[in-house]
Chain A
């Protein structure tokens, strides 16, 4: 059982639409990352969260620690936002060298159509 679940798996949106991608996890975490992967394969770190909310430009990330859930929102979506968005968590249960481990969701493939 994958301990990090993302939804939806695929998402197609019209340019300008508001987009939400969800991530849920099974046990306590020390940090959650939202990552963006473009077709070439490279990964960009968008946010690292341990509580609350962060905003960068048109991107907003929120996390609810009690509900073990995070969302990534994109306002006024644009075709250049088309990418795979990956949620990755650092579980609190790991210590020492294991505390650096990230567990990755399977990703959400977003396509924004002009």
Chain B
């Protein structure tokens, strides 16, 4: 299965600033996803990162707040913009290869906004 390198692993940020999270995969994958896990909650899908085109966002998430890039089949970034304490969460990258249905997750980025 694919191996994911997600960076940074954690960060403490000031409100009003932005943080970009990187997800690098060791092989080409079909699907790349970004999730948010708020404290004590299960995972919520933010968006599906599409290679070479705009990401597909889930209800409640918008591009201005969570811009996503996916320039190729092995790399994606998620930016959390104009952060507030409510954005304090774990953010996870996840990938899947078409037709294999196996899902791999990154090590997560633990974000604290102060």
A78-100 Cβ-contact flags toward B at 8 Å (1 or 0): 00000000101010000001001
What is the size, in residues, of chain B's interface with A at 8 Å between Cβ atoms?
25
Return the contact of A42 from the options B31, B43, B103, B105 (Cβ within 8 A): B105
Contact between A43 and B105 (Cβ–Cβ < 8 Å)? yes
B48 interface hit (Cβ, 8 Å): yes
Q: With contacts defined as CB atoms under 8 Å apart, how many contacts are there between chain A and chain B in the complex?
A: 55
Query: Nearest A residue to B96 by beta-carbon distance?
Result: A100
Contact between A48 and B41 (Cβ–Cβ < 8 Å)? no
Return the contact of B42 from the options A33, A42, A86, A101 (Cβ within 8 A): A86
Q: List 29 A-B contacts (CB under 8 A).
A: A30-B101, A33-B103, A35-B105, A40-B9, A40-B107, A41-B37, A41-B90, A41-B92, A42-B92, A42-B106, A42-B108, A43-B92, A43-B105, A43-B108, A44-B105, A48-B101, A48-B103, A86-B43, A88-B43, A97-B48, A97-B56, A100-B33, A101-B45, A102-B43, A102-B45, A102-B103, A104-B42, A105-B42, A106-B42
